[in-house]
Structure 1
Amino acid sequence: MLQYEALFNHASMGIVVLDNKGMIRSANPYALKLFGYEPGELTGKAIEVLIPQRYHHRHVGHREGYTHHPNNRPMGLGMDLFAIKKDGTEFPVEVSLGNYQDKGEVSVIAFVSDISIRKRTEAQIEKMNAELEATVVQRTRDLQLTLDELKTSRGRLQELHLYQKALLDNAGVMIIATDEHGIIRLFNPEASARLGYDEAEVIGKASITLLHAPDQESDADLFNTLVAGSEQGLHEDAEYNYITKDGVVFPVSLTISAVKDEQGKVTGFVAVAIDIAARKQAEKELHKALEKEKELNELKSGFVSMASHEFRTPLSTILSSTYLIEKYIKTEEQPSRDRHLGRIKSSVAMLTEILNDFLSVGKIEEGKIQVRPAEFDIHETVESVIEEVRHNLKKQQGIHYTHEGEAVFILDVSLLKHILMNLLSNAGKFSPENSTIEVRTSCHNKQFLLAVKDHGIGISKEDQQHLMERFFRGANAANIQGTGLGLHIVSKYAELMHGKVTCNSEIGKGTEFIIVFQAKQNGE
């Protein structure tokens, strides 16, 4: 009985008991503290006094439906609700419900935790942090009052016994009581169901340290760590890892309270553990979402900065060429018109390339690129891309292509073409006139190699470490038109097709990019 009384009076969460009409029968000290009421002040009041007015109309129906169906399962943790203090302050709570029958009458038990601190965190992650501030003297006085009441009525003793048993049996939390040495004396059904041990396996036989995942501390040191604060009247929750009988480890929020006799001697401990695996996973997912949003914001910021610079030149060219075309009205001035039309086309192509690169990066970051592998003719595919790029090369630049090995391979042809087009475009921009760009492919032993080599300005060793980063431009490429997105796209597309990119370069001696793709194995 002392264990049941200690649970009600010293639990690190609010406990409110209602009759089947929704009237408050009793509330533990923590609940009174939580809502700002004095002892006995809540007794006989409707539970809606603890709920903001705007929720009353639907809460009454929900409450009546619950109390008229005593076989309902208790509500689980994790539902975000709001409560109201006596002074009108609203705060978010987490509630677990249970019910029991006494002489045919249904009583409802509500376990209430204040989650205000969790709601105020920057990541908006829900975090339970119930703090009990009751002193040892107050707890002892309350316990004595309860004992005195029990002595006055045998019927009251039986009622309290049923009531406390209902708390244990229907609580949505794990409750374990121990003696002063940590040997388990009480193991509620939730603890049994969640941890996989029957009461007979642990009560009187195992220490509470059995439930904790192994670490470097000895059992004795761990037990002392667990109960150290509770012996001084502290009731702060902490995170630990519990382990089931089958070896499954999961995180819990754990609060331990000391049980003392009339002389203040510690006679045992009560541990209340809440499974927070779902909450931890939600925190992890939220952090990932925030990081993703941060990356997308950086991408947008980078694009605005790049666009304001890179769009200026082609737009100015289009504007000036359009103006000059209007001035050439004679037939013999057609060559001049053609020259300016060519400049306009080139500038439009440049703008299109910038926009396409940005759209590609956006799809990559959002995970919207779908890889559709199919068998393709290597020589035919590469030649088609070369032919498409050839008209954008500088004066007298040429492309020499060689292939050896098998004629077909399986990849996403669209992504491969985009990779080759980017590499050829870069090779043309960073190479002088009258130079040759070398393209070679080979296919042997289920491995496909694509290499593009130029004889241009080259890339320093320092810059090669950042080539695949978004918006990165080499130190010697500042005066050459470009977005800094092409190689980033190449690396991401290659990665999607399980390809590995290698760069061999030296300042003034040109650059070679080599990408090796492995054939997809069965079942991949």
Structure 2
Amino acid sequence: MSGTTEFEALFNHATIGIIVSNSQGKIINFNPSAESQFGYSKNEVIGQSLEILLPDQFRKFHETLRNNFYTHPSPRRMGEGRDLYGRKKGGAEFPIEISLGYYSNNGQHYVIAFSIDISSRKKSEEMVLNQRDELKRVTTEIKLLNEELEQKVKARTTMLIETLNQLERSREELSRSLENEKNLNELKSRFVTTASHEFRTPLSTILSSAYLLEKYNDTQEVEKRKKHLRHIKDAVADMKDILEDFLSLGKLEEGLVRANTVTESVTVFIQYLQGIIDETMPICKTGQQIILQHTGISPVTIDKHIFRNIMLNLISNAIKFSPQNATIHISCTFEKNKFSVVVQDEGIGISEEDQQHLFERFFRAKNAANIQGTGLGLHIISKYLELLNGSIHLTSELNNGTSISFTVPYKQAK
């Protein structure tokens, strides 16, 4: 097969639209996939301006962009960071992705546009965003209801049960909708699976406690009501932590998180770290204690918000996976060009096999299957440390605890 024949076969059978134009912006070739996308036949567009394929409001601006491209041609995606739209023969507009290339022949310059109709993808993304917003909205309602529940237990119990039922229905509808979206990537699919599993336990706790609260009307049963209120608070806190993991991961994956570092003295920084530790004390098991040590006097440069998220995650894990009466050691080392933190627990440990996958999304060690969690914590920590140009290291042994250390250098964060 000759080179020309091979090119014609590729051009005519490509699953993406291929549009070739000259330096005057006139279409000189138009493959079958482009015909299918835009509704024009090849003969209808040959010699026509490229702008015939664009919505009216973009045509004038596109002429300027086209002329600039011919002045400085280079292969690239078109409209980086913007939504692009094509216009069909009948006038209908549709979302599209365009990549540009160029070539020269006999002193003439030509541009090749590769087009993909992304209408189906946009519909799928919109559905997922709507479902995620609905889940966030309903979860926020539950939090507000819980805050008022302490003063209006009897009056709000019925509303709480209805809201929880609504959340359960939303979860089921979310699962059914996403099952039909075969082209969604792994993150979206795993989000539904993990969220459904992790929300089930706190939802059941809240629902059962709410039902029992209706029965405890006697003033002598105050302690029983308080006990079930605590159950509801703990369950909602678990749901909030799970949702925070998903939201943090989403922001990190979309590049919405930026590091904003400040420099502080060791004394001020240690006080800040002690405050983070104090936040975790209410979830400590009976007899557990946290010991903080530090060495060095060099000032610390860090994004405090990111550091807080990292430490809350590591300390919470140490508490969760350690038994009663265990000691959790936190040590900090402050050097001239970097600082390091080590969090060491006396927990269940991690097998060598599982250690290879700990920083992957949604991964959970085999011996942690019965302990609540999303499998996102260490993955999120690793993403945060990437923003700070930091590194993380883990050593562990089954039934003999885990030590996690991370280092942050003092240089420009991402």
Q: What residue in structure 2 maps to residue 416 of structure 1?
A: 307
Is 1:368–2:256 an aligned residue pair?
Answer: yes
Q: CA deviation digits over 1:117-148, x for unaligned, max 9?
A: 563799x9xxx9xxxxxxxxxxxxxxxxxxxx
Q: What residue in structure 2 maps to residue 96 of structure 1?
A: 22
How far the C-alpha of 1:272 sits from its partner, in A, is 6.9
Structure 2 vs 1, CA of residues 391 and 295 (structure 1 numbering), >3 Å: closer, same or farther?
farther
Letter in 2 for 1:119: A
How many residues matched?
280
Q: Could you tell me the TM-score, scaled by structure 1's length?
A: 0.48
Letter in 2 for 1:115: F
How far the C-alpha of 1:327 sits from its partner, in A, is 2.5
The answer to which structure has the higher helix fraction is 2
Structure 2 vs 1, CA of residues 337 and 121 (structure 1 numbering), >3 Å: closer, same or farther?
same
Q: What residue in structure 2 maps to residue 299 of structure 1?
A: 187
Give the SS at the match of 2:283.
coil
How far the C-alpha of 1:347 sits from its partner, in A, is 0.4
| Pairing partner for 2:241 from 353, 366, 385 | 353
* Contact 1:398 1:437 (C-alpha < 8 Å) held by counterparts: yes
Which segments of 5 or more consecutive residues in structure 2 lack a partner in the other structure? 5-16, 43-65, 74-100, 126-181
How far the C-alpha of 1:503 sits from its partner, in A, is 0.6
How far the C-alpha of 1:326 sits from its partner, in A, is 2.7
Q: What residue in structure 1 maps to residue 175 of structure 2?
A: none
Is 1:499–2:387 an aligned residue pair?
Answer: no
How do 1:229-308 and structure 2 match up within 5 A? 253=103, 274=109, 297-308=185-196
Q: CA deviation digits over 1:67-122, x for unaligned, max 9?
A: xxxxxxxxxxxxxxxxxxxxxxxx98544366xxxxxxxxxxx9752221563799
How far the C-alpha of 1:392 sits from its partner, in A, is 1.0
Q: What residue in structure 2 maps to residue 404 of structure 1?
A: 295
How do 1:433-448 and structure 2 match up within 5 A? 433-448=324-339
Structure 2 vs 1, CA of residues 121 and 350 (structure 1 numbering), >3 Å: closer, same or farther?
farther
Q: CA deviation digits over 1:27-50, x for unaligned, max 9?
A: xxxxxxxxxxxxxxxxxxxxxxxx
Is 1:481–2:395 an aligned residue pair?
Answer: no
How far the C-alpha of 1:254 sits from its partner, in A, is 7.0
Q: What residue in structure 2 maps to residue 327 of structure 1?
A: 215
How far the C-alpha of 1:509 sits from its partner, in A, is 0.8
Give the SS at the match of 1:311.
helix
* Contact 1:378 1:407 (C-alpha < 8 Å) held by counterparts: no
How far the C-alpha of 1:332 sits from its partner, in A, is 3.6
Give the SS at the match of 1:391.
helix
Is 1:119–2:44 an aligned residue pair?
Answer: no
CA RMSD of aligned residues (A): 3.7
Letter in 1 for 2:30: I
Q: C-alpha separation between the residues in 1 aligned to 2:225 and 2:329?
A: 35
Letter in 2 for 1:431: S
* Contact 2:298 2:335 (C-alpha < 8 Å) held by counterparts: no
Q: Could you tell me the TM-score, scaled by structure 2's length?
A: 0.60
Q: Give the fraction of aligned pairs with identical amino acids, expressed as a percent.
A: 42
How far the C-alpha of 1:303 sits from its partner, in A, is 1.3
| Pairing partner for 2:356 from 443, 446, 465 | 465
Q: CA deviation digits over 1:218-271, x for unaligned, max 9?
A: xxxxxxxxxxxxxxxxxxxxxxxxxxxxxxxxx86577xxxxxxxxxxxxxxx5
Q: C-alpha separation between the residues in 1 aligned to 2:408 and 2:183?
A: 28
Structure 2 vs 1, CA of residues 273 and 408 (structure 1 numbering), >3 Å: closer, same or farther?
same
How far the C-alpha of 1:325 sits from its partner, in A, is 2.4
How far the C-alpha of 1:301 sits from its partner, in A, is 1.6
Give the SS at the match of 2:362.
coil
Give the SS at the match of 2:285.
coil
Give the SS at the match of 1:399.
strand
Is 1:520–2:411 an aligned residue pair?
Answer: yes
* Contact 1:379 1:407 (C-alpha < 8 Å) held by counterparts: no
| Pairing partner for 1:425 from 309, 316, 331 | 316
Letter in 2 for 1:113: I
| Pairing partner for 2:232 from 317, 322, 344 | 344
How far the C-alpha of 1:329 sits from its partner, in A, is 3.0
* Contact 2:19 2:113 (C-alpha < 8 Å) held by counterparts: no
Q: C-alpha separation between the residues in 2 aligned to 1:275 and 1:406?
A: 63
Give the SS at the match of 2:256.
coil
Larger-Rg structure: 1
Structure 2 vs 1, CA of residues 442 and 279 (structure 1 numbering), >3 Å: closer, same or farther?
farther
Q: CA deviation digits over 1:286-323, x for unaligned, max 9?
A: 9xx99xx8998422221111111111110110111122
How far the C-alpha of 1:336 sits from its partner, in A, is 2.1
Q: C-alpha separation between the residues in 2 aligned to 1:480 and 1:383?
A: 27
How far the C-alpha of 1:393 sits from its partner, in A, is 1.6
* Contact 1:252 1:273 (C-alpha < 8 Å) held by counterparts: no
Structure 2 vs 1, CA of residues 465 and 119 (structure 1 numbering), >3 Å: closer, same or farther?
farther
Q: What residue in structure 1 maps to residue 381 of structure 2?
A: 490
How far the C-alpha of 1:335 sits from its partner, in A, is 2.4
The range that moved more, 349-358 or 300-309, is: 300-309
Structure 2 vs 1, CA of residues 194 and 495 (structure 1 numbering), >3 Å: closer, same or farther?
closer
Structure 2 vs 1, CA of residues 327 and 444 (structure 1 numbering), >3 Å: closer, same or farther?
same
Compare relative contact order (CA 8 Å, sep 6+) and give the higher one, 1 or 2.
Answer: 2
Give the SS at the match of 2:244.
helix
Give the SS at the match of 1:402.
strand
